[in-house]
Structure 1
Amino acid sequence: MPRLVERHEPDLVSFPAEGHERIVAAMGEDLQNPWENGLGRRLAGLALIAAACFASSQIRLLVPIVQQRVTMFWPPAGIALAAVLLAGEWVWPAIALGSLLVSFSTGTPLVAAVVIAAGNTLSALAGGWLLRRMGFRNGLERVRDVLGLVAFGAVLSPLISTLVGTAALHLAWEVPSERVVRSALSWWLGDAMGVLLVTPVLLTCGALPIRPLRRERALEAAALGLCLLAVGALTLSSWSANPTVHPPLAFTLMPFLVWGALRFGPRGAAFTTFLAVGIAFWATARGLSPFALGTVEERLMYLYSYTAVAVMTSMLLAAVFAERKRAEEMHIRLLARESEARAEAEAANQAKDQFLAALSHELRTPLTPVLAIASGLAADARIPPEPRRQLDVIRRNVELEARLIDDLLDLTRITRGKLDLRLEVTDLRKVIEHTIEISCEREMAAGRLRVVTDLAPEDHRLWADPSRLTQVLWNLLSNAVKFTPAGGTITVRSRCAPDRLELQVADTGVGIDPEVVPYIFDAFEQGRMRGPRRTGGLGLGLAISKAIAEMHGGTLSVASEGHGHGATFTLALPRGRDLPAIVPTPEEPAAPVLSVEIENPKSKIQNLRILLVEDHADTAEAMADLLRLLGHEVTVAGDVATALAAGEAAASGGGLDLLISDLGLPDGSGLDVMRSLARFGFPGIALSGYGMEEDVRRSHEAGFRRHLTKPVGLPQLQAALREIAGAGE
């Protein structure tokens, strides 16, 4: 007989989390009434279950008994299993009571009735326990749940009630032994049919949310039901006199089962299957087609086969599509989360960019007046040699600090893939000579180190970013200078191949321990680079250099025989294709080296009328003094409004030649100043602590000819002025 399924805590509110609201609603109770946690609610639930089991047992009046007191379809079995799954094991008294009422209504002796009730109750509890052990979900929205219900609920658990029940029948009515097996099979099949047809309907109603159907969906559901009834009526008629076509006629309802499964999910599949198979049971009981063929056993074989095929087809199809729908929804949710995560990451990156830009600006701005004053005083011939040397120390260390800031920003750009290369035909020989001059000149002049060049005579041109290539060589040479003791030698040699250039920087310094070599190009590894001596720096130069080499399609490697044997760094770069032919040009004087001290501070380009826009008071004063030292007339403004007023006043009187402006101003941006004053036709130089690629791009778009990143010394400023003035000639 019956048993109901789903397990929850055995207290008074232990209706399962899934479906307990619907059980209460079915009893017509308000969740907020005083019975909610009392004995009355539990008793009402038990009474409802027992009444449902007893009422559904009256199906025996419609469906004939096929063996001794055994019917071919037993709905109480499905109700009992559904009750256990939806409410929990505590409903077992209702299952037992319902079974006793049914037995008493059929005149079963008391002992046999009690035994049958025990078997039916144990069958339902066992089925619920087995299904819960496999992680069963009442919604039947997974293939494993459908298969579990068939295997454990419809096949295994009814065996308990079958064995106990047939034994009771045999003892109570002395059923002949030869009929016991047939009675047991009929009992088992009746219970199995009850589970297959009734349990899915109750589970899907109790576990899945019930939402009002839209008008279109309601009309579709009504059309589906009418089509099932209409086609069922045609199938069950006697229009065909050939009995061999009767069984296939039953399968004309299959398309409607598929319709219900695909369009209405597991609940639709359960209801359409119940209706279609119910029609088949009724027809079989009345001796109508499609199963009015052969003996009772043959008709039942057709009927049970049809039921199994219908239930498995519709419920499995609904579960497959439910799983697919969940997978698609999960995919959509994952895409949405990915999109949100990407947006958050982009926002975080943007915030990081803004933070780095602001950090760079704040770190560079205080260095600018220091470097400007040190450069200006060091260039003054009236300064004695000793103070000049001290000023040179200040200048070098400020430039080193600026280099550390650049390295941190470059490393951030590289790790995020935002470091761009501006490739052009570059003469590596000139890059080498220039880099040696700016990185080793002081040590060479002092006689501390000897720098030897061994450059191949072949053409050294290749496609590269010259400024980034200079940065790589500067890092390699600075590294060699740092770790080579006094009296040592640094050798720079090159080798040329048709498609590749190779450059080596070798030193006779402290060398590299073998265990450190694998980590030499890792960022922040300065602490264990060479030997026990801790040297200055963050260990970023080599990491950045390797990344830049790889961005050029080349490699950067290192070799060392160990501590005390020096090290050799090898930079290999592809030449690239379509290099232009070499055109001989007359000798030109070498461009001024930016880090070389200027002997004569007087500029060749004098008497420029310059508007300097800078909100940092110390920087404004230092830069104005430096420009005046170069022989220029300087007007200083500290914000956008003052700058625009001064610029328009000077331009209207023909008295402005150049704008030098910071970008970050209290009431706006230097970009606004440049755009507003661009109509007067004078050029501009952006002078800012913001030095990211995006900052440089915006400066050029606003109309600035040059973008100088703070701190700026005398040589850099003089070179920029010469370039701007030369472009205007």
Structure 2
Amino acid sequence: MAAVVGFEVLRRPAGLVVATPAVALCYYAAGRLGLLRELVVEGAVFTPIWPPTGVAVACLLLFGLRCAPGIALGALLVIMSLTSLRPVVIGNLVGNTAAPVCAYLLLRRVGFRNDLARLRDGLALVFLGALTAMLVSATVGVGLLLLTDRLGAHSFWPVWLAWWVGDAMGVLLVTPVLLMLFAVRLPLDLSRWKEATGLALCACVLVPAATRSSVSLLFLVYPLLIWAALRFQLAGSMLCALFTSVLATVAATDAVGPFEGLTRIEVMIKLQAFNGTMALTALLLSAVIAEQRNTRRSVERACQELVEVLEHLTAGEAPPGRPPKDPED
């Protein structure tokens, strides 16, 4: 209850004073985590998963555009931790702030729901929130590198692709997890804690083995994702996908397991292809399952109401919610 009250405070106009530094701090912390693992493509350093984009999009979906100043401040803190204040920093700041805002506007335009309980919501997050909106930050960021002669023209597309996919992965992997955590209410349903524990133990054994083995065994994580989605929907599938993606990124940056002996471009392509397909599988499969379950509940509820109406009609009574008919009419 205290957490809910805290979130409601952030929704109020006066909460902007609290929301801005809070969002900035979360963005900065996510940025520092993302910078722990880096890859080099054509001389440019990038992160395979950029968590701040996921944090920014989630904050905007939860609290609205009032979070934009906090996102801009957080982006500035991350940039300033890497370089000195220069005119090009302003361009990067604009791009890193505009991309999540663009994602928010596109998602709200199509009626996106934060519970991701419909297939259309999963598709919207993938194609609008991640793949389309993150074109802004990638184009602005790499374009500035090109204009300031810090990047050759021949390296534009590989670096642009790495930047774009890294930002998109942040949205696909981090945003659903944060939206899910926001929706959690206490007390938790622990009726299937044994199965959840078994799933977690399997993930802790199977995922490190698949991402560190010299034999290409990455495909082994997909049955795990399907199990998590079928039994625990978004919570299970996205946590499993995030855990797997982090370990795969660690293996790729260490050049071990299935990424051993590959060139930097090949490592980037293999890692991002794996992370992308895994995130899509987890997100869309859980959305389909949730939608089907909601549809089944609606049908069952309608059938139950129909049975009640028929029982009342058979007994000569008025159906529930309707006044009895006047005999004189």
| TM-score for both structures, normalised by structure 2 | 0.89
Asked if the contact 1:86–1:207 (Cα under 8 Å) also holds between the matched residues in 2, the reply is no
Alignment partner of 2:292 out of 324, 330, 336 = 324
Alignment partner of 1:221 out of 196, 201, 209 = 196
Partner of residue 81, structure 1: 57
d(CA) in 2 for partners of 1:54 and 1:154?
A: 20
In the TM superposition, residue 172 of structure 1 has moved relative to its aligned partner by 4.4
Partner of residue 147, structure 1: 123
Partner of residue 114, structure 1: 90
In the TM superposition, residue 65 of structure 1 has moved relative to its aligned partner by 3.4
Secondary structure of residue in 2 paired with 1:66: strand
User: How much identity, in percent, do the aligned residues show?
Assistant: 32
Asked if the contact 1:127–1:157 (Cα under 8 Å) also holds between the matched residues in 2, the reply is yes
Secondary structure of residue in 2 paired with 1:268: helix
Instruction: Identify, as 1 or 2, the structure richer in strand.
Output: 1
Corresponding letter in the other structure for 1:42: L
Partner of residue 100, structure 1: 76
In the TM superposition, residue 154 of structure 1 has moved relative to its aligned partner by 1.4
Structure 2: give runs of 5+ residues left out of the alignment: none
Partner of residue 113, structure 2: 137
Alignment partner of 2:47 out of 45, 68, 71 = 71
* Equivalent residue runs for 1:2-401 within 5 Å: 25=3, 29=6, 37=12, 39=14, 41-67=15-41, 68-172=44-148, 174-207=150-183, 209=185, 211-214=187-190, 216-238=191-213, 240=214, 245-246=215-216, 249-348=217-316
Cα distance change of structure 1 residues 211 and 292 upon mapping to structure 2, 3 Å threshold: farther
Corresponding letter in the other structure for 1:226: L
Cα distance change of structure 1 residues 139 and 354 upon mapping to structure 2, 3 Å threshold: closer
d(CA) in 2 for partners of 1:222 and 1:285?
A: 29
In the TM superposition, residue 207 of structure 1 has moved relative to its aligned partner by 4.1
Corresponding letter in the other structure for 1:220: E
Asked if the contact 1:77–1:195 (Cα under 8 Å) also holds between the matched residues in 2, the reply is yes
Cα distance change of structure 1 residues 126 and 30 upon mapping to structure 2, 3 Å threshold: closer
Secondary structure of residue in 2 paired with 1:137: coil
| Most deviating of 257-266 and 218-227 | 218-227
Cα distance change of structure 1 residues 211 and 231 upon mapping to structure 2, 3 Å threshold: same
In the TM superposition, residue 284 of structure 1 has moved relative to its aligned partner by 1.0
Cα distance change of structure 1 residues 350 and 128 upon mapping to structure 2, 3 Å threshold: closer
Corresponding letter in the other structure for 1:227: C
Cα distance change of structure 1 residues 53 and 348 upon mapping to structure 2, 3 Å threshold: same
In the TM superposition, residue 126 of structure 1 has moved relative to its aligned partner by 0.9
Report how many residues are paired.
324
Per-residue Cα deviation, 1:476-533 (whole angstroms, up to 9, x for no partner): xxxxxxxxxxxxxxxxxxxxxxxxxxxxxxxxxxxxxxxxxxxxxxxxxxxxxxxxxx
Per-residue Cα deviation, 1:37-77 (whole angstroms, up to 9, x for no partner): 563x3222221211111111123443123232432221111
In the TM superposition, residue 220 of structure 1 has moved relative to its aligned partner by 2.1
d(CA) in 2 for partners of 1:266 and 1:47?
A: 29
Cα distance change of structure 1 residues 269 and 353 upon mapping to structure 2, 3 Å threshold: closer
Structure 1: give runs of 5+ residues left out of the alignment: 1-20, 360-407, 409-729
Cα distance change of structure 1 residues 61 and 264 upon mapping to structure 2, 3 Å threshold: same
Secondary structure of residue in 1 paired with 2:257: coil
d(CA) in 2 for partners of 1:36 and 1:229?
A: 38
d(CA) in 1 for partners of 2:76 and 2:148?
A: 15
Asked if the contact 1:204–1:266 (Cα under 8 Å) also holds between the matched residues in 2, the reply is yes
Per-residue Cα deviation, 1:607-652 (whole angstroms, up to 9, x for no partner): xxxxxxxxxxxxxxxxxxxxxxxxxxxxxxxxxxxxxxxxxxxxxx
Secondary structure of residue in 2 paired with 1:25: helix
In the TM superposition, residue 84 of structure 1 has moved relative to its aligned partner by 1.1
Asked if the contact 1:266–1:319 (Cα under 8 Å) also holds between the matched residues in 2, the reply is yes
Corresponding letter in the other structure for 1:137: R
In the TM superposition, residue 257 of structure 1 has moved relative to its aligned partner by 0.9
| TM-score for both structures, normalised by structure 1 | 0.42
Per-residue Cα deviation, 1:575-603 (whole angstroms, up to 9, x for no partner): xxxxxxxxxxxxxxxxxxxxxxxxxxxxx
Asked if the contact 2:48–2:272 (Cα under 8 Å) also holds between the matched residues in 1, the reply is no
Cα distance change of structure 1 residues 338 and 124 upon mapping to structure 2, 3 Å threshold: same
- For the aligned residues, what is the CA RMSD? 2.8
d(CA) in 2 for partners of 1:353 and 1:53?
A: 61
Partner of residue 529, structure 1: none
Cα distance change of structure 1 residues 89 and 70 upon mapping to structure 2, 3 Å threshold: same
